[in-house]
Amino acid sequence: MIWPFKPSSKKQIARIEITGAIAPKTRERVLEALEIVEEKKFPALLLRIDSPGGTVADSQEIYSALTKLGGKIKIVASFGNISASGGIYIGVGANHIVSNAGTITGSIGVIIRGNNLEKLLDKVGVSFQVIKSGPYKDILSFDRNLSEEEEKILQELIDSTYEQFVQTVAEGRKLSVETVKSFADGRIFSGEQALKLGLVDRLGSEKDAFRWACELVKLDPDKTECHTIEQPKSFVDRVLNGRTQVKSKVGSSINWLEFELATSGQPLWLYRP
């Protein structure tokens, strides 16, 4: 893949944008872009995040790549309208974070959701015959309730993943685990609240974050170009306008977003009402 660059990348600030739900395609694109940033020896990276969260492992892989790169160059994250759950998980991988005062962030937690349609299926006379290799192979099936043992298994999974999330935020923001747990109960914050909690470093716009990135590597913000690294889209992708992305639906008077992935029961770090 050919990426268009001007010759003097050492005198430019790289920019990567993460928008929408974090899923495998996001991970692939961002990891490839981070490799380019390192190969082209950009002195700093501006990471623009506008995401409600997404899948666990994809968020973890992006975070790990950011912390590795952050040991070599300066990375400043800029939070947009929303940087919650998996969005903040990725954000704490940056060296510094700038947030708008009204950014929706936080939502530190993990969720698994299943749908129980047992009563509806009974009404229409539909039932399923299941042959399985073990008692828990059909856990979270939509045609029955969870058993007590299944609830215990899933809760242990959630607890384990939650502890990973809290530990990452604590390490990324240089906070104690106890401090993070005091507010890591799924609640959301404004950028202003996040600053008081230590989740972000400064309040400001993306332009402010860019200027800070320049200053960190001793470049003049007024003379430095910001180079956005974006994977070229095929004609089909442009026409379909990202059909593979997660669909969203808007509800409530202040437009909380609820994102649903086509993955039954997969743990998600999602921003939810």
| Residue of 9, 59, 85, 99 marked active site | 85
How do strand 225-228 and strand 202-203 relate by DSSP bridges? unpaired
SS3 220: coil
41 catalytic? Reply is no
| Residue of 10, 137, 196, 247 marked active site | 137
Instruction: Find out whether 214 and 13 touch, Cβ atoms under 8 Å.
Output: yes
In Å, how far are 70, 89, 167, 175, 250 from 170, measured between CA atoms? 17, 10, 5, 5, 32
Instruction: Find out whether 41 and 69 touch, Cβ atoms under 8 Å.
Output: no
Question: Closest by alpha carbon to 244, among 1, 18, 20, 16?
Answer: 20
Structure tokens that stand for 45 in this block:
């990276």
Structure tokens that stand for 18 in this block:
């993460």
Alpha carbon distance 126, 103 (integer Å):
46
Residue 148 has phi, psi (to 5 degrees) of -60, -40
Question: Closest by alpha carbon to 213, among 78, 67, 32, 84?
Answer: 78
Handedness of CA 174, 179, 183, 185 (dihedral sign): positive
Cβ count near 116 (within 10 Å): 14
253 catalytic? Reply is no
Ramachandran class of 102: left when φ > 0, alpha when ψ lies in -120 to 50, beta otherwise: alpha
Which residues are known catalytic residues? Answer: 85, 137
